[in-house]
Amino acid sequence: MLSPLLCSTSTLFLVTTTILTCSSFTPSITTHHHHKTTTTTTTTTTQINAVHNDKLSNDTINWRAIQDNVKGAIAATVLAGSLWASPSALVSTMQSSTDSGPMWWDGITSTVVADAKEMASGSGARVNKDAESLLRYGLPIPKDKEIRKFQLLVEEIGKDISSKRKASAIDGISKARKTLDSKSAAGFKAMCRDQSTCTTYLNEMTTTLPTLEESLKASQDAMNGSDQERNLLDSSYTNINAIAKTLTKLEEQMVPAGYSTPVPDTYSDLPQLKGRATVEFIVTKPDKEPYTIEGKNYAQAKMTMVIDGYAAPITGGNFVELVSKGFYTDMKIQRADGFVVQTGDPEGPAEGYVAPPSRSVGKGRNGERLIPSEIFVKGDKGPFYETTIEEEGRGGQATILPFSSYGAMGWAREEYDANSGSSQFFWLLFDSDLTPAGKNVLDGSYPCFGYVVDGAEFLRDAKEGDTIVSAKVTDGMDRLFLPPVLPN
């Protein structure tokens, strides 16, 4: 599993981001929620030099205390400085089982992400934490410069509304209306697979923008902090969200017909997701206890996730197949430590999904079907496999899907084996204090294969022992491609 620890040694403290797979391959910690031995991995590590302290040499320091202590600007600066000083020192060296390297593709290259040296999770002071925005940017759209400008404009309007920068939002609306009234709209339509469908989407946004502008202008005349202002801003936010969702559908139409991310033939015996799928989980607490979010009680946690087969076709395909088979239904949450929420370890000796092994990475010691590490860096034509971004000598470069959104979904694996993942995954409870802009070393070390787009707030109250009572694929099963069943 993925667990942050602060481990002491005779010369240094390690603030460690670790991924565990409840494995007995290299036992070190026994968790309370499983009668199994688990592995603490240290693939992603922040090293902070400290004075020798013999009293701490054999103690495990509770992460929650550390998390409370390190939050804030000073701790974030210390973490960021040591973390970024030598990225190659932060990731364990692992042996790759392939010499083939990346599989290149002459198809889609986004003009926005053409610079392969863009740093992980943003190189400036701001991090994009919006899951739906990140998914839009992850779409493989050719010649996307103009639509990305329009996307940025729409997203900035939303940020201005949420921050009550009303004049700035109104100015943004004016620019958006001009864009839709210009030849850019015709260009957007021409990029679509179905131009009539995109005409409908463009008309919807054109119609909603004046309504949005009216409510914002009215809010300027309302008393600050009044119910009238709040209601008008709520209405404005609802409208801009509707525009953003329509924009997502417009951009999805711009992905070329028949496009799928290239995957080497080596992995043709593994499930692949050619596009995106939507998955819904419903989770409950023991004894019908409620989930309490911002003072309100809920009988169950309902989360909607978008699984991205464009960025992670094998990882996404593996997950969607397991969901469709009912693998996660009635499974417990097995870790919830304030940094991640994790599940996927079935009852019994196996630490993953037991199935015939793949040709590429084989099986685990208890018959688990293993899948290769899968990392897609911005500017590349496709993912590279069976290795990490550090091993490729590209530490710190940006991935298509970064771990920068609350509820980002990552694939768990063992410490020294990038290809030991099977069925365990985690939701990252992203904290910008602990993962400052441009300093996210989870990116490229573990595959990020999707985001929670609705209900991520329930992860705040998730606990070990909560049960996934329902896990189903609500959209995209037609985009899941399973390998042929071979005779014995």
Q: Where are the domains of the chain?
A: 1-125+268-488, 141-252
Answer whether residue 256 shows pLDDT above 50: yes
Residue 334 vs residues 2, 241, 261: alpha-carbon distances, Å: 11, 34, 32
DSSP string, 467-484: EEEEEEEEE-GGGEEPPP
pTM over 0.85: no
Q: In this predicted model, what pLDDT tens digit does every residue of 71-117 receive, in sequence order? A: 433 333 333 333 222 222 222 222 333 333 333 334 444 443 333 34
1-125+268-488 CATH:
2.40.100.10
Span 141-252 CATH architecture: Up-down Bundle (1.20)
Q: In this predicted model, what pLDDT tens digit does every residue of 61-81 receive, in sequence order? A: 343 433 444 443 333 333 333
The interaxial angle of helices 227-252 and 145-162, nearest 10 deg, is: 160
Q: Is 60 left (phi over 0), alpha (psi -120 to 50) or beta?
A: beta
What average pLDDT does this structure show over 32-51? 33
Determine the Cα angle at 279 with ends 278 and 282, to 5°. 145
3-state secondary structure of 43: coil
Q: Give me the chain's average pLDDT, please.
A: 80
What average pLDDT does this structure show over 329-345? 96
Q: Are 433 and 75 in contact (CB under 8 A)?
A: yes
For residue 316, what is the enclosing H or E element? helix 313-324
Answer whether residue 242 shows pLDDT above 50: yes
Q: Are 422 and 368 in contact (CB under 8 A)?
A: yes
For residue 73, what is the enclosing H or E element? helix 73-85
Q: In this predicted model, what pLDDT tens digit does every residue of 272-328 receive, in sequence order? A: 999 999 999 999 999 999 999 999 999 999 999 999 999 999 999 999 999 999 999
* Residue with more model confidence, 74 or 221: 221
> For residues 116 and 397, what is the distance between their CA atoms, to the nearest angstrom?
7
